[in-house]
Amino acid sequence: MSVASPISGSNAREEPRSVSPSLTLRDSPRPLRVGPYRPHGELGAGGMATVYWATGGAQLGMRRVCALKVLHDKLTSRENYLAMFFNEAKIASEITHPHVCGVFDYGTAGDKAYLAMDYVRGKSLAAISRAWGDLVDPQLHAQRIARIIADACEGLSAIHEHRSTSEPELRVVHRDVSPDNLILGFDGFVKVIDFGLAKIGERGEKTQSGILKGKVSYIAPELLHGDPPTPSADIWSLGVVAWELLTGKRLFRKDTDAETLHAIVEQAIEAPSKVRPGLPSNLDAIVLRALSRKPAERYRTMAEFGAALWGFLRTRAELVQHRDLRAWLAELFPGEEADLRARIESIAHTPALSVPPAARRSSELLGRVRARFGRALPARRQSRWVVAALAAVVCCGWAAFQWSNAHAHPLGTSRASLAGFSGLTSGAEQHIGDGLVVEVERANDSEVTVHVRAEAPHTAR
C-alpha cells in the first residue's frame, strides 16, 4: 500500500526550494545595479543563485520588469558552476514557447554573472497546492489539474524537441521538473521555469559520478541505477507532480532522503482515485503510465503524455479554458494580482535612479527647447533645427545615464549643428527647467559642443 504524506502540514524535512521568477515580491538587501538592470527586491534564493525582481532596458520612459537571476559570488570563480549557469541561459534563450519562461538577456557585469528572464506574474504549483484547502468538487479539480499538466507537457515537449542551431544533434532534458518549477500565471497560462539542471545530450555538462541532481522526491528510478537522464525521466517527474496535485498528498517523500529513494524504487503506487475518492477513474491509467518504473513502458514522448490528458479532457462536458484557470487562481489568491500589478507599474514608470524628469520625457523636452530657442531661428533653418534639437534630446538621454551612474552634476556632452543653437550665446548658461542647464561652445564654423548638467541644489529654480 502507498503511504503518502499530505502536501502541506507534513513534519517531513523540506526540500530546497527552487528559485522562481514569480514568488511574492519582497524588499531585501540587494546589489545596486547588475549590468543594465536594477534589482528592487528578492524573489528567492537557491544553492547557485539569487533571483531578484528588477527593472532594466530603457533609460527614457517605461522600463521592462523582469526576473534577474544572479549567480552567487562564491561560484563565479568556479568554471563548472559558471558553465552550468550559462548553459541554462543559452538553452532558455533559444526556446520560444507560450509555456516556457523565456530568457532574453544574459552576461557578466564586473564580478557578477546574470541572466534576465520574463517575470511570470503568478504562483508556483507548490504554492497553489498549499492554498486550495479541501477539495469540494473532485471532478472539477481533476479537470483543472489535467489541463495544467497538459499545458506543462507542451512546454516540456518544446524543451525536449529543441535543437541548437550550432549543435543540432544535442538533446535537452530538464532534470528538475517539480511543483516549484511549474508556474500558473494570473493569465491562466502554465510556464516551465529553471533550466539550471538541464543536460545537453552526451557532450554537454556531465554530472559527477554518484551525484544526483533534482529534488529527491521527483527523481526517476532509473537514475538511481546510474542510467543517463533522458526525456523519459522528465515524464516520470511530471507524473509524480500530477499524482500529487490530484490527490493532495506527497507520493514518495519520507522523513529521510534514504527512505525517499527507497520508496521511489520499491513503493507500490496507488491509483489517484483510490487515494482521493471522487476523482474520475478514467484518469488513473493516464497518470499511472507516466509512473511506470520501466522507461520503455512510459509514454514515448512528452507530447504523447499531453495527448492522453487531452483525450481525457475532451470527455468532459465542458473543457477547462485558460480563463477558467485564471478565475480559479484569483479565487485562491484574492487581490494579489491587482496588488502585484500596482507595485510593478509604480516601479516601471519611475526612473531607476534619481534623474531630472526632463531627461526621461524626451517629447516634452523637445517642445520646451524649441519654444525657448526656435524663435531666434530664421524659417529656412527650421529643418536643420529639428536635427539639432534631436541631438540635444540624445544628449539628455546620455545625461540621464551618466547621472544614474555617477550622481555628478556634469551629465554629458554632445556635438550638434550650430544652426540649432543660434539662439544661445556661446559660453552662456541656459536653464531649460526641471533641473537641467544647457551650455554651448563654438567648435567650428558649423558645429557647437553642447554641455548638459544638473543645476546645483542652491541654484535650482
- DSSP secondary structure code for residue 205 in this structure: P
Q: Cβ(174)–Cβ(228) under 8 Å?
A: no
- Residue 25 carries which side chain, given as an amino acid letter? L
Q: How far is CA 65 from each of CA 12, 19, 98, rounded to the nearest angstrom?
A: 36, 17, 18
Q: What is the spatial distance between Cα 142 and Cα 178, in angstroms, rounded to a whole number? A: 18
Read off the C-alpha cell for 158: 518544446
Helix (H) or strand (E) holding 314, with range, is none
Q: Which 3 state secondary structure label does DSSP give 269?
A: coil
DSSP assignments along 82-100, one per residue: HHHHHHHHHHHHH---TTB
176 included as an active-site residue: yes
- Residue 360 has φ and ψ, to the nearest 5°, of -110, 0
Helix (H) or strand (E) holding 400, with range, is helix 382-406
Catalytic residue (choose from 105, 118, 151, 176): 176
Q: What is the spatial distance between Cα 119 and Cα 104, in angstroms, rounded to a whole number? A: 11
Q: What is the spatial distance between Cα 186 and Cα 345, in angstroms, rounded to a whole number? A: 16
Q: What is the spatial distance between Cα 360 and Cα 393, in angstroms, rounded to a whole number? A: 10
Strand partners, 246: none
- DSSP secondary structure code for residue 10 in this structure: -
Enumerate the active-site residues. 176
